[in-house]
Chain A
Amino acid sequence: MTSAQNTQGRSLWADAIRKIKKNRIAVVSFWIIIAYIGLAALCAMDLVFTSYSLVDNTIPYQAPSSAHWFGTDLFGRDVLARAAHGTVTSLIVGFVGAGLSVLIGTLLGALAGYFGGLVDELITWFYSTLDNIPYILLLVAFSFVSGPGLKTLCLAIGLTSWVGHCRLVRSEFIKQRGQEYVQGAFSMGASHARRIFVHILPNTLHLILISFSLGFVSAIKSEVILSYLGLGVEPGTPSWGMMISDAKLELSRGVWWGLAAATVFMFFLVLAFTLFNDAVRDATDPKLRDK
């Protein structure tokens, strides 16, 4: 926010945080997300659920018991531990995939919206082109040619899903570039880069954040579909997508716990993100301010 607004009253962010704190659903969702991140960190450091890759061929497909709360899989590995470690994969896919796409979308959108003219036309042509390829097909085609694996999965999601962010940031930059504070920055000798990144960009951050969290949810869901198509992470890496896809064969043998564990883990993460996102949107919507 500009300093002029700061002196008049609360900034958009202070106002938003105050509103979010009052929203009970948003607070609970926030702590659920933090819990998932904490769990993923502990799993990644191998401090909890260390038995996730422990193969025990004597106990394949064991039903849930006190020793294995969510049973075991084909190789006798603990399903709960695998589902917990799947959090790491999902969070990487979500943060890196959606992060990359927000980065590309924001950069191209900012350039197009700020400079206009030929730059804008080229970028608009580029994203309209990608936008005219149905997303699921583009993603599948991209993952297919780049091959399976966690890295290529993130890359495929990042490189194919930036169009929405780009369009949003572009229209926001077009709105902002003529405003007084940008002219003011210009008259004080701010360079193009400074005006784009220091002056305009912070004013669009709340929209980018909302857009990112939508992308995060869609990246996690994409991982499941791509896993089913054989374009997911490396075999052996615990992932919810793999666990859900494996259920196709497991269910006919009455093995439901792999599917159940992965679905429950994914459900609460996606739901928390969606609810928190809604709260942020309401709290930062200028139309709803001071109500």
Chain B
Amino acid sequence: MLKYTIRRILYVIPILFGVTLVCFLLFNVAGGDPAAQAAGKYATVEQIESIRAELGLNQPIYLQYLDYLKQILTFDFGRSWSTKQKISEMFWSGVGPSLSVTVPGFLITLMITIPLSLVLGYLRDSFIDRTAMVVCLALISISSLVYILAGQYFLAYLWGMFPISGWDSSWTGRWEYTTLPILIMVVLSLGGQILFFRTIFIEELSKDYVRTARAKGLSNKKVLTKHILRNALIPIITLVVLQVPFLILGSLLLESFFGIPGLGGLLVTAINNADFPVIKAMIVILTILYTTFNLISDLLYAVVDPKVRLQ
């Protein structure tokens, strides 16, 4: 296990090099001249040049890249162009609001989809299963934007069951504003997740140990909960771990629709304002988080499944 852990951690180094390089090239090379963008549309050549010197963009490209790495390591990404706030502060203040929508939303979805897909997998190809499949496929054929628009329009605007948008930074007051986004998040992830889990459960159901468990006379309930659910937990845990960075990011669309001051909404605002440093910083932070959780999920996988370690 130790050998595998070390190898897997070492493997992260080239990946981190790669992802920082992609982010750097995307924004500093492919995205045009950052100095000209920072200076704005009506800047003179001298102004652009002085900003270029200020941002260190007159240095050779590899020095700029090292500078960028230094920013990441010290978590100091400078300031936003539009609000002049420190980006690291913007990041930390956005995490809480994002998590207060995504964590309840994600957990509620799991509590609905796991038992439901287990039952559907067991009833495979029955009338109930086929109907549920059609419903799930229909659910995923509608754009997530439509769910948000319809939810906000009907439940908040027309029927007044929830506030249309807004935010209360106190922990007790915010739930009034997060309930509808949480509800919409659950509905729009139902279809895809049930399809995903059902496939996993069906695969488990066809394995030999299930036949053995049945052959020794265990009840269906025992087979499903004690045997299948436990074995299927491995891919489920992987999914959950890999979702963590997305829970931190929050939903770009939900947050911008409901005025939730989370990271997703922050990113949408930054895109609308062409706020380069914020977009660049957000993407690299979340990418590094994602890489880290990828590593964690692989290590967890190796803990529960010894076959992985030997590969």
Q: Residues on A close to B: CB < 8 A? A: 125-126, 128-130, 132-134, 136-138, 140-142, 144-146, 221, 224-225, 228-231, 244-245, 247-248, 251-252, 256, 259, 263, 266-268, 270-271, 274-275
Which of A129, A251, A267 is in CB contact (< 8 Å) with B15?
A: A129
How far does the alpha carbon of A90 sit from the alpha carbon of B127 in the complex, in Å?
34
Q: Is there an interface contact between A224 and B143, defined as CB atoms closer than 8 Å?
A: yes
Knowing A134-B290, A224-B145, A267-B141 touch, does A129 contact B22 (C-beta < 8 A)?
yes
Q: Which of B18, B23, B257, B294 has the most CB of A within 10 A?
A: B18
Knowing A225-B253, A263-B142 touch, does A129 contact B26 (C-beta < 8 A)?
no
Q: Is there an interface contact between A230 and B15, defined as CB atoms closer than 8 Å?
A: no
Q: Residues on B close to A: CB < 8 A? A: 14-15, 18-19, 21-23, 26-27, 30-32, 137-138, 140-146, 149-150, 152-153, 157, 245-246, 249, 252-253, 257, 267-268, 271-272, 279, 282-283, 286-287, 290-291, 294
Least CB distance from A226 to B in Å reads: 10
Which of B32, B145, B249, B294 is in CB contact (< 8 Å) with A228?
A: B145
How far does the alpha carbon of A231 sit from the alpha carbon of B267 in the complex, in Å?
13
Least CB distance from B31 to A in Å reads: 4
Q: Is there an interface contact between B252 and A271, defined as CB atoms closer than 8 Å?
A: no
Instruction: Closest B residue to A244 by CB, please name it.
Output: B145
Instruction: Enumerate 27 A-B pairs (CB-CB under 8 Å) in ascending A order.
Output: A128-B15, A128-B18, A130-B22, A132-B291, A138-B283, A140-B271, A141-B26, A141-B27, A145-B26, A145-B30, A145-B32, A224-B145, A225-B143, A229-B271, A229-B272, A231-B271, A244-B143, A244-B145, A244-B149, A251-B157, A252-B157, A259-B146, A259-B150, A263-B143, A266-B143, A267-B142, A271-B137
How far does the alpha carbon of A221 sit from the alpha carbon of B157 in the complex, in Å?
26
Contacts of B143 in A (CB 8 A): 221, 224-225, 244, 263, 266
Knowing A132-B287, A134-B290, A137-B287 touch, does A274 contact B141 (C-beta < 8 A)?
yes
Q: Is there an interface contact between A126 and B146, defined as CB atoms closer than 8 Å?
A: no
Contacts of B142 in A (CB 8 A): 263, 266-267
Contacts of B30 in A (CB 8 A): 145-146
Least CB distance from B219 to A in Å reads: 30
Least CB distance from A75 to B in Å reads: 21
Q: Is there an interface contact between B272 and A230, defined as CB atoms closer than 8 Å?
A: yes
Instruction: Closest A residue to B146 by CB, please name it.
Output: A263
How far does the alpha carbon of A267 sit from the alpha carbon of B139 in the complex, in Å?
9
Contacts of B282 in A (CB 8 A): 137
* Known A128-B18, A140-B267, A144-B271; further 12 A-B contacts with Cβ < 8 A: A125-B18, A129-B15, A129-B18, A133-B22, A134-B245, A137-B287, A229-B272, A244-B143, A251-B157, A266-B142, A268-B141, A270-B141
Q: Is there an interface contact between A230 and B271, defined as CB atoms closer than 8 Å?
A: yes
Q: Is there an interface contact between B283 and A133, defined as CB atoms closer than 8 Å?
A: yes
Instruction: Closest A residue to B17 by CB, please name it.
Output: A129
How far does the alpha carbon of A263 sit from the alpha carbon of B149 in the complex, in Å?
11
Q: Is there an interface contact between B290 and A132, defined as CB atoms closer than 8 Å?
A: yes
Q: Is there an interface contact between B153 and A251, defined as CB atoms closer than 8 Å?
A: yes
Closest 8 CB pairs of A and B: A129-B18, A145-B31, A270-B141, A271-B141, A224-B143, A251-B153, A132-B291, A133-B287
Q: Is there an interface contact between B287 and A134, defined as CB atoms closer than 8 Å?
A: yes
Knowing A134-B245, A252-B157, A271-B138 touch, does A247 contact B149 (C-beta < 8 A)?
yes
Contacts of B18 in A (CB 8 A): 125-126, 128-129, 132
Least CB distance from B19 to A in Å reads: 5
Instruction: Closest B residue to A134 by CB, please name it.
Output: B290
How far does the alpha carbon of A206 sit from the alpha carbon of B290 in the complex, in Å?
32
Least CB distance from A85 to B in Å reads: 18
Q: Is there an interface contact between A132 and B146, defined as CB atoms closer than 8 Å?
A: no
Q: Which of A134, A245, A252 has the most CB of B within 10 A?
A: A134
Q: Is there an interface contact between A134 and B146, defined as CB atoms closer than 8 Å?
A: no
Least CB distance from A44 to B in Å reads: 23
Contacts of A145 in B (CB 8 A): 26-27, 30-32
Q: Is there an interface contact between B149 and A248, defined as CB atoms closer than 8 Å?
A: yes
Q: Is there an interface contact between A141 and B279, defined as CB atoms closer than 8 Å?
A: yes
Q: Is there an interface contact between B271 and A142, defined as CB atoms closer than 8 Å?
A: no
Instruction: Closest A residue to B272 by CB, please name it.
Output: A230
Least CB distance from A171 to B in Å reads: 14
Least CB distance from A30 to B in Å reads: 16
Least CB distance from A274 to B in Å reads: 6
Which of A133, A146, A225, A267 is in CB contact (< 8 Å) with B19?
A: A133
Contacts of A271 in B (CB 8 A): 137-138, 141
Instruction: Closest A residue to B157 by CB, please name it.
Output: A252
Instruction: Closest B residue to A224 by CB, please name it.
Output: B143
Least CB distance from A234 to B in Å reads: 18
Contacts of B268 in A (CB 8 A): 229
Knowing A137-B283, A144-B279 touch, does A245 contact B26 (C-beta < 8 A)?
no
Which of B14, B140, B283 is in CB contact (< 8 Å) with A125?
A: B14
